[in-house]
């Protein structure tokens, strides 16, 4: 295996991880931003007010996007296993 092949495989893995993390982390981030704006407007400083909505949004995103995340990971793994002969030789 040449260094270029290793870098290509690593780049593809990073792309898959980035896609999966973006799908999971962006909705709670936006929810936290909205809750923070609400807290700043109403001057309510309760820690659980920001934690509970982000947790609920994360669970909902995992429920609805779980099949997409699993399919993305399976596609990458199948491509990687399928390319093993060309990667070695």
- Percent of the chain whose predicted confidence (pLDDT) is above 70: 100
Give the number of domains in the chain.
1
Q: What is the pLDDT of residues 27-68, one digit of tens each?
A: 999 999 999 999 989 988 887 888 999 999 999 999 999 999
What's the confidence (pLDDT) of residue 87?
Answer: 82
- Residue 89 in this model has a pLDDT that exceeds 90: no
d(CA 80, CA 25): 26
What residue numbers bound the domain in which 36 lies? 3-88
* Collapsed DSSP state (helix, strand, coil) of residue 5: helix
Side-chain-side CA neighbours of 46 within 13 Å: the count stands at 8
Distances (CA, A) of 57 to 1, 16, 28, 52: 43, 22, 6, 9
Q: The pTM is what?
A: 0.80
């Amino acid at each position: 295996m040449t260094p270029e092949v290793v870098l290509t495989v690593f780049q593809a893995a990073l792309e898959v991880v980035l896609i999966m993390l973006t799908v999971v982390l962006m909705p709670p981030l936006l929810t936290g931003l909205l809750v923070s704006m609400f807290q700043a407007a109403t001057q309510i400083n309760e820690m659980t007010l920001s934690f509970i909505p982000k947790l609920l949004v994360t669970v909902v995103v995992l429920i609805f996007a779980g099949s997409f995340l699993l399919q993305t990971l399976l596609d990458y793994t199948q491509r990687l296993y399928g390319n093993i002969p060309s990667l070695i030789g």
